[in-house]
């Protein structure tokens, strides 16, 4: 399985800035693309701009969220068909900022995952516990709930990626130790074995949370860590390209 490096640009970058960053990433990583799968997830406004840069390069285009309905009176939302028409291959669903800032529930996220699959988009389902939940010993309970709910109603053939992102490590500079990440990824893999006994090893599990060039090597060396969902370090071509280079080794 190829390592996956997904860039979540969040609510950053104007169209010209997004174009320049995409160009710098592409020019710096072309030699590594055969061995690493790269996904860039810009804001909605920059999707077509980034697509024009990475077209035919092998880099995948992703969105950061979507609505579960294909169309309708949902002001400010974006649907799966709209993302497809913008050239998207992937969509991040259930990111902790969506769960904890915008109050998205497990049931809402499950609807979005199903909608993404229905429309032909690959969901990157984010799961993870808060610092308080970890301190209470609830990490495995929370992550299992997120995974089971997000995958409910799917078939083993559906193409999906899971990203474990401990909420306490996102944008804080704190990173789960390789051992902490390994333990949760192993739990997710074992859980997948009960859900998809014939395909459980084929589902990529990414780690996310303050991933940087100085820690990604140790993280990717752990069993069941198949790549990374990268936030802040993806906003600079130098650091993101270095992450890709390390993952390609």
Instruction: Report d(CA 245, CA 247) in Å as an integer.
Output: 5
Active-site entry in 67, 95, 146, 185: 95
Residues 6+ apart with CB under 8 A from 139: 129, 133, 166, 184
Tell me if residue 94 falls in helix, strand or coil.
coil
Helix 15-29 / helix 47-54 crossing angle, nearest 10 deg: 30
The C-alpha torsion from 10 through 54 and 63 to 149, rounded to 10°, is -110
By the 8 A CB rule, do 149 and 170 touch? no
Active-site entry in 104, 129, 165, 185: 165
- Write the DSSP symbol of residue 198: T
Instruction: Report d(CA 39, CA 41) in Å as an integer.
Output: 7
Q: Which two tokens stand for residue 243?
A: 């992450």
Helix 106-119 / helix 139-151 crossing angle, nearest 10 deg: 40
Q: Which two tokens stand for residue 158?
A: 């559906």
Give 161's strand partners.
124
Is 165 part of the annotated catalytic residue set?
yes
By the 8 A CB rule, do 66 and 47 touch? no
Catalytically annotated residues: 95, 165
């Amino acid at each position: 399985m190829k390592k996956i490096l997904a860039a979540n640009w969040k609510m950053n970058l104007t169209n010209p800035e997004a174009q320049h960053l995409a160009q710098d990433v592409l020019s710096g990583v072309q030699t590594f693309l055969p061995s690493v799968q790269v996904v860039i997830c810009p804001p909605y406004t920059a999707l077509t701009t980034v697509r024009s840069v990475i077209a035919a390069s092998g880099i995948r285009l992703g969105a950061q969220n979507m609505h579960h309905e294909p169309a309708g009176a949902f002001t400010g939302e974006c649907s799966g068909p709209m993302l497809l028409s913008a050239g998207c291959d992937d969509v991040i669903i259930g990111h902790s900022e969506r769960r904890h800032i915008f109050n998205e529930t497990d049931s809402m996220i499950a609807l979005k995952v199903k909608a993404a699959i229905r429309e032909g988009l690959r969901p990157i389902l984010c799961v993870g516990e808060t610092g308080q939940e970890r301190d209470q010993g609830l990490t495995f309970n929370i992550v299992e709930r997120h995974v089971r709910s997000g995958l409910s109603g799917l078939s083993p053939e559906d193409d999906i990626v899971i990203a474990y992102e401990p909420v306490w490590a996102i944008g804080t500079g704190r990173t789960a130790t390789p051992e902490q990440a390994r333990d949760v990824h192993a739990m997710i893999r074992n859980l997948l074995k009960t859900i998809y006994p014939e395909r459980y090893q084929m589902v990529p599990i990414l780690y996310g949370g303050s991933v940087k060039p100085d820690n990604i090597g140790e993280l990717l060396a752990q069993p069941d860590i198949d790549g990374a969902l990268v936030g802040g370090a993806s906003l600079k071509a130098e650091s993101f390209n270095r992450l890709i280079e390390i993952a390609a080794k």
